[in-house]
C-alpha cells in the first residue's frame, strides 16, 4: 500500500488511501479539496496553477466551482484518473510537493482553519427503506408482530422521492418543526413535534446520470455512483403518523436532512466490499444481486445541554442492508426516471440485528417503552431542545482504515408563529 | 380595460391582459418572452436594448437567462411593475412600439417560428391531492365505498414530494415505463405498464421562497406564488399499486410529468378568483381559508394514431378544488420546509362532481368498468402506444378571456432492456 510523505498515523480517518472530496470555505473563498491527514488539499488552486495534470481534464475547470457537480459529471474513468494523480502527488516517493515547502503551505490547508459547505448541489433526493431489520421493527411496532414485512418489501427496494432543498451540511442547526398532530381521539392541533427522531443512514451520491426514458441496467448501475456521505434523516414521528396515508412521508421528514461534508469515493470503499445478506426470494433479473454491500461501522451519539461529551446510543453497520446501491439505482431508473449528478440516494434507516444496533430512536426505545438512560442521569425517548446528535462512520480492514468524518446537528426550539 | 395596438380578436387566448411568461428558442437562441396575440414579445432583447424601463430592475439582467428563475426571485412588487410596464408598452395609446415598425419586427416574433422550452428550472416538485371529488372517487374504487375519505383528508392538504428532474415541457414524448407489476396471485414481473394513465392538474410556480426553518404564514402565502401552468401527471397505475405502501407513489409517477410552457401570472388570474367550496370542519388557523380558488376551465383531449383531431374526454374546472394554493403553501412550510423560486406545487388531480368532469382515466372509466368510446370507433380504458393527450385551459368572465395554451404529449412504446 502507498503511503504519504505526510506521515499520517495509523487509524487516522483520512489516510492517503481515502482522499474524500469536499467543498470548503477558507479566508472567505469557497474551494474544492480532498481531505488528507489533518489537512485539505486545495484542488481549486491546484487546477488554477495548472498543476492538476490529468489528461481527461485538459482544458476543463471542474474544480473552479462551488460544488462537486461539474467534476461528478466527468464520469468514472476521469474520477479514477484524478484519484490516481492525487495519490501519486501525495505519495512519499513523489518529490514534486514533498520537497516544495512553499507549495505545500499554499495547497495544504489545516482543517482547523476551514468551514465545510454542502459538497454537492442536490437536484434530486430519494430515500429508500432497505434495511430488513428496520422494516421489520417498524412493522412489528405499528402493523403486525407476526407478519411485519409488507408483501412488496422483499421484491422491490421500496423508496420515495424526498425534498432536496432541505438537505443541509453537518453543523447546521435544525429547528424543531411544527405541524399537524392528532393525539388519540382529540381533534388535530398545530404544535411543535413531540416525537423528534433521527435515523442513521448513508447517502450515495450519483456521479453520472441517465436520460429520461433510458434505464440504467443493474450491471452498469454501480459505475454511476461517485461516493458516499453519512446522512441523518430527521423525523417528526407524530406529524408523519397523521399525514402519511396514502401518499407517504412529507412534512414529517422534509424540515431538514443532515449530510456529512466529505464524500468518500466508491473507489476508496472497494476493499470493504462484502456480499450482503442473502435475498429470498431471488430478485427479478433487473435487480440481480451484484454483491456490493460494504462493511462500514456507524455510531450514533447524543450530547444533551447537560453533557460535556457525546455518548453512543447505537452502533450499527451498513453491511446488514438487504438492498444494495446497484439494486436501488437499477430500480429507480427501470421506469426511465432520470438521475442527475449530485442526486442523493438515501439508504433508509440502517438497523442491525440486535437492539443496540437499531438505527432510530423509535426502534431503540421500542416506541417509547424503553427510555434511553444517559450518563448525565437524563433520559430520552425522543430528542429534547438543544440536544445534539452525531453520526460517525469508519471502515476498517486489517491496517487499512478510512473515516467519513462526522454528521452532526443540534435541535433548536420551535419558533412561535 | 386596456387594449393593445395589435388589435387582438375577442376570445384570443393571449390578449393584452394575459401576458404569460415563457422561455423560447428562436434561430438557435434561447430567450424569455411574454405571449401576446400570435406573437411572443422578446424580453431578453428588450432588456438588452435598455428598453425595459422598470426601476426595480435597474442594473439587473433578469431576462438574460435561460429560465424565469432570476426574474421570479425579484418578488411580487417587481413582477407587478414589469407587468404594468409591458401592458403600457403594448397599449393602443402608447406610441413607442406601436409606431416603430422596425422595433416591432425585432421584438415581436411570430409564435409559429419559435420552439418553447421549460419555463423554469424546477428545484422542488410537490404534488397535492386536493380535489375532494378525486379523493372520494379513489377511496370508493379502492378502499371503502361508504367512507371513501381517509381521516386526515379534511384536516390537511395531503401531498408528497415528487421528482423534479422528470418534469418536461409540452411536446416531449413520454416512453411507456417499465416496472414491477403484481397481477393477482402471480409472482411479480418486470414489464411495461398496462395501465398508463394521466391526471389533469395545474402546477403553481413558486416565485419567492422561504428560508429553512421559517414558515410562510397563510396571509402571506399567495404573495409567494408567481403563476400557473397546466400539468399532466402521467401515472402507471399497476406499478403504483404494487409499490406505494407504505411510502407513497414513486416509480408509478416519476417517469415524466408534462407542463405547459406559458406561465399565466397570479395577477392575470385575479378577475377569475372565486371562494371555492366550503370547508368542513373549519381548518386550523394556520390553514385559515383565504378564498383564492380560481374559475379555470380545463379540457382533456385524446388523439389516437387513427384520429385526425383531438377528442375531448373530460371537462373540469379548478374552482372545485377543496384546498387552495395559499393553504398548500402554508401547510408545506409550517414545518419550516424551504420553498425556492421555480418550485412547482401540483394541485393533484382536478375532478369535478359529475362523471364527465373526472380528471383521470381511472375515474373516467371507473377502474376499467366503462371504456371510453372514441370517434374513431376505438375504445380506451388506459392509454395505448402512440396515443396523444392534450390539456387545454381557459378562464372566461364576460368579455375577458385568458388562455393557458396547451400541455400535450404522445405515448411512446416501451423500450426493450
User: What CATH number does the domain containing A223 carry?
Assistant: 3.90.850.10
**Residue B321 burial (C-beta neighbours within 10 Å; 0-12, 13-18, 19+):** buried
For chain B, the domain total comes to 2
What per-residue confidence (pLDDT) applies to B39?
98
Question: Of B26, B121, B134, B155, which residue is the catalytic one?
Answer: B134
Instruction: Check: pTM over 0.95? Answer yes or no.
Output: yes
Residue at A324 is within a domain? yes
Residue at A5 is within a domain? no
Please tell me whether residues A99 and A50 are part of one structural domain: yes
Return the H-helix or E-strand segment holding B18: none
In 3-state terms chain B splits into helix, strand, coil percentages (rounded to 5) of 25, 30, 45
Residue B286, φ and ψ in degrees, nearest 5:
-70, -10
- Residue A413 has a CB neighbour count (10 Å cut-off) of 11
The answer to whether the CB atoms of A254 and B335 lie below 8 A apart is: yes
C-alpha cell of residue A125: 433526493
Cis omega (within 30 of 0) for bond into A246: yes
* Distance in Å, alpha carbon of B315 to nearest chain A alpha carbon: 26
Please tell me whether residues A332 and A379 are part of one structural domain: yes
Please tell me whether residues A150 and A232 are part of one structural domain: yes
A134 is catalytic: yes
Mean pLDDT of chain A: 97
- Mutation site for B-interface testing, chosen from A213, A214, A417 by largest number of B Cβ within 10 Å: A213
Q: What ipTM was reported for this prediction?
A: 0.97
CA distance A131 to A359: 10
The answer to whether the CB atoms of B251 and A182 lie below 8 A apart is: no
Please tell me whether residues A298 and A400 are part of one structural domain: yes
Residue at A9 is within a domain? no
Question: Assign residue A347 a region: left if phi > 0, alpha if psi is -120 to 50, beta otherwise?
Answer: alpha
Please tell me whether residues A75 and A134 are part of one structural domain: no
**Residue B252 burial (C-beta neighbours within 10 Å; 0-12, 13-18, 19+):** buried
- Closest-approach residue (CA) in chain B for A187: B155
> Last residue of a domain, which of A96, A117, A138?
A117
Q: pLDDT tens for residues A170-226?
A: 999 999 999 999 999 999 999 999 999 999 999 999 999 999 999 999 999 999 999
How many CB pairs below 8 Å do chains A and B form together? Answer: 205
Strand pairing category for B167-169 and B257-259:
parallel
Residue at A71 is within a domain? yes
Residue span of the structural domain in which A260 resides: 125-412
C-alpha cell of residue B113: 417560428
Which CA distances in Å does B389 have to A141, B172, B303, B314? 45, 12, 6, 11
CA distance A205 to A217: 18
Strand pairing category for B174-175 and B400-412:
parallel
Question: Of A12, A26, A121, A134, which residue is the catalytic one?
Answer: A134
Please tell me whether residues A40 and A158 are part of one structural domain: no
Please tell me whether residues B94 and B141 are part of one structural domain: no
- Helix ranges, A90-205 (H): 95-98, 101-107, 132-142
Please tell me whether residues B98 and B147 are part of one structural domain: no
The answer to whether the CB atoms of B189 and A213 lie below 8 A apart is: no
CA distance A221 to A199: 26
The answer to whether the CB atoms of B161 and A165 lie below 8 A apart is: no
Please tell me whether residues A304 and A331 are part of one structural domain: yes
The answer to whether the CB atoms of A256 and B336 lie below 8 A apart is: yes
Specify whether the CB–CB gap between A333 and A215 falls below 8 A: yes
The answer to whether the CB atoms of B179 and A335 lie below 8 A apart is: yes
Please tell me whether residues A70 and A160 are part of one structural domain: no
CA distance A215 to B156: 36
Residue at B226 is within a domain? yes
Residue at A97 is within a domain? yes
Specify whether the CB–CB gap between B40 and B24 falls below 8 A: yes
* Distance in Å, alpha carbon of A405 to nearest chain B alpha carbon: 24
Residue at B185 is within a domain? yes
- Closest-approach residue (CA) in chain B for A182: B152
Which residues in chain A have Cβ-Cβ distances shorter than 8 Å to B164?
123-124, 164
**Between residues A104 and B416, which one has the greater pLDDT?**
A104
- Closest-approach residue (CA) in chain A for B182: A152
CA distance A347 to A359: 12
CA distance A383 to B59: 48
CA distance B324 to B293: 6
Q: pLDDT tens for residues A229-249?
A: 999 999 999 999 999 999 999
C-alpha cell of residue B129: 391531492
Please tell me whether residues B79 and B177 are part of one structural domain: no
> Last residue of a domain, which of A90, A117, A144?
A117
| CATH number reported for the structural domain that contains residue A26 in this entry | 2.30.30.230
What per-residue confidence (pLDDT) applies to A226?
98
The answer to whether the CB atoms of B256 and A412 lie below 8 A apart is: no
Which CA distances in Å does A67 have to A21, A44, A45, A53, A119? 10, 11, 15, 21, 6
Residue at A136 is within a domain? yes
Q: In tens digits, what is the pLDDT along chain B, a chain of 417 residues?
A: 789 999 999 999 999 999 999 999 999 999 999 999 999 999 999 999 999 999 999 989 999 999 999 999 999 999 999 999 999 999 999 999 999 999 999 999 999 999 999 999 999 999 999 999 999 999 999 889 999 999 999 999 999 999 999 999 999 999 999 999 999 999 999 999 999 999 999 999 999 999 999 999 999 999 999 999 999 999 999 999 999 999 999 999 999 999 999 999 999 999 999 999 999 999 999 999 999 999 999 999 999 999 999 999 999 999 999 999 999 999 999 999 999 999 999 999 999 999 999 999 999 999 999 999 999 999 999 999 999 999 999 999 999 999 999 999 999 999 875
Please tell me whether residues B130 and B191 are part of one structural domain: yes
- Closest-approach residue (CA) in chain A for B174: A213
- From the list A161, A164, A189, the residue facing B250 with the nearest CB is A161
Specify whether the CB–CB gap between A74 and A57 falls below 8 A: yes
> Last residue of a domain, which of B63, B96, B117?
B117
Amino acid at each position: 500500500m502507498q503511503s504519504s510523505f505526510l506521515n499520517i498515523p495509523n487509524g487516522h480517518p483520512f489516510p492517503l488511501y481515502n482522499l474524500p472530496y469536499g467543498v470548503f470555505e477558507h479566508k472567505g473563498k469557497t474551494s474544492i479539496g480532498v481531505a488528507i491527514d489533518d489537512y485539505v488539499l486545495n484542488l481549486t488552486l491546484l487546477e488554477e496553477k495548472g498543476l492538476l495534470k490529468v489528461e481527461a481534464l485538459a482544458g476543463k475547470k471542474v474544480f473552479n466551482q462551488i460544488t462537486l457537480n461539474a467534476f461528478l459529471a466527468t464520469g468514472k474513468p476521469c474520477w479514477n484518473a484524478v484519484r490516481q494523480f492525487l495519490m501519486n502527488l501525495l505519495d512519499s516517493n513523489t518529490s514534486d510537493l514533498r520537497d516544495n515547502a512553499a507549495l505545500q503551505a499554499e495547497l495544504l490547508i489545516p482543517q482547523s482553519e476551514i468551514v465545510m459547505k454542502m459538497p454537492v448541489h442536490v437536484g434530486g433526493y430519494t430515500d429508500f427503506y432497505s434495511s430488513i431489520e428496520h422494516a421489520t421493527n417498524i412493522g412489528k411496532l405499528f402493523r403486525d408482530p407476526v407478519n411485519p414485512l409488507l408483501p412488496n418489501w422483499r421484491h422491490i427496494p421500496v423508496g420515495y422521492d424526498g425534498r432536496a432543498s432541505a438537505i443541509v451540511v453537518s453543523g447546521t442547526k435544525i429547528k424543531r418543526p411544527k405541524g399537524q398532530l392528532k393525539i388519540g381521539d382529540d381533534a388535530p392541533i398545530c404544535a411543535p413535534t413531540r416525537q423528534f427522531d433521527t435515523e442513521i443512514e448513508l447517502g450515495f451520491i450519483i456521479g453520472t446520470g441517465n436520460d429520461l426514458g433510458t434505464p440504467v441496467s443493474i450491471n452498469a448501475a454501480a459505475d454511476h455512483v461517485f461516493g458516499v456521505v453519512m446522512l441523518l434523516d430527521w423525523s417528526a414521528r407524530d406529524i408523519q403518523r397523521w399525514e402519511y396515508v396514502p401518499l407517504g412521508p412529507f412534512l414529517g421528514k422534509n424540515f431538514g436532512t443532515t449530510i456529512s461534508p466529505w464524500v468518500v469515493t466508491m473507489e476508496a470503499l472497494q476493499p470493504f466490499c462484502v456480499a450482503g445478506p442473502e435475498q429470498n426470494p431471488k430478485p427479478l433479473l433487473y435487480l440481480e444481486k451484484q454483491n456490493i454491500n460494504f462493511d462500514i461501522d456507524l455510531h450514533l451519539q447524543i450530547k444533551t445541554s447537560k453533557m460535556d461529551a457525546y455518548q453512543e446510543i447505537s452502533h450499527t453497520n451498513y453491511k446488514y442492508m438487504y438492498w444494495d446501491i446497484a439494486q436501488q439505482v437499477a430500480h429507480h431508473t427501470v421506469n426511465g426516471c432520470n438521475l442527475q449528478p449530485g442526486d442523493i440516494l438515501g439508504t433508509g434507516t440502517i438497523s442491525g440485528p440486535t437492539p443496540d444496533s437499531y438505527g432510530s430512536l423509535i426502534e431503540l426505545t421500542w416506541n417509547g417503552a424503553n427510555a434511553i438512560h444517559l450518563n448525565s442521569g437524563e433520559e430520552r425517548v425522543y430528542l429534547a431542545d438543544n440536544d445534539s446528535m452525531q453520526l460517525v462512520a469508519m471502515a476498517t480492514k486489517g491496517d487499512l482504515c478510512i473515516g467519513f468524518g462526522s454528521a452532526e446537528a443540534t435541535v433548536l426550539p420551535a419558533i412561535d408563529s
